[in-house]
Copies of this chain bind each other. A is one copy, B any other.
Amino acid sequence: MKTDVAWMKNYLREYSIKPSTIRIKMLKYLMENKIHPTVDEIYHALLKDIPTLSKTSVYNTLDIFLKNGIVSLVTIEEKETRYDIDTSLHGHFKCESCGKVYDFHVNAENLKEEGIEDFDVLDKKIYYSGICEKCKNIKEE
């Protein structure tokens, strides 16, 4: 994956976001760590690289990313908001045992919705939860 600085500066500009140090590093982190991180995770990860980083800046930057469609929100029954650099339609599965959030593909074109035919649907989210394969196997041991 292309994640050099020049490429990311351009990427940000395509989304009408002025590239700044923090914005570039946050974009890089999100692209290289597609684990649907929380604000805290992003903050602590970047703190090693940017010792003066504040959580406020992480919030600010994520707000900008959100408004400009670079990231989307993931909120599966939890208080901490998570962020996803992949804004295309896909499902999220949260393992109740290990807490990990997995992506999965869905063929939403087969999904028929009844009752909202005349609504303007701007966003769709599909959240599953349960036990992932790894945790199932651990329990069986």
Contact = CB atoms under 8 A, between A and B. Distances in A.
Copies of this chain in the oligomer: 2
Interface string A111-132: 1111110111111111111111
Say whether chain A's binding surface is mostly helix, strand, loop, or mixed: strand
A106 B111 contact: yes
Interface residues on A, range: 35 or more
A77 B77 contact: no
B110 A110 contact: yes
A96 B114 CA distance: 19
A107 B115 contact: no
A11 interface: no
A73 interface: yes
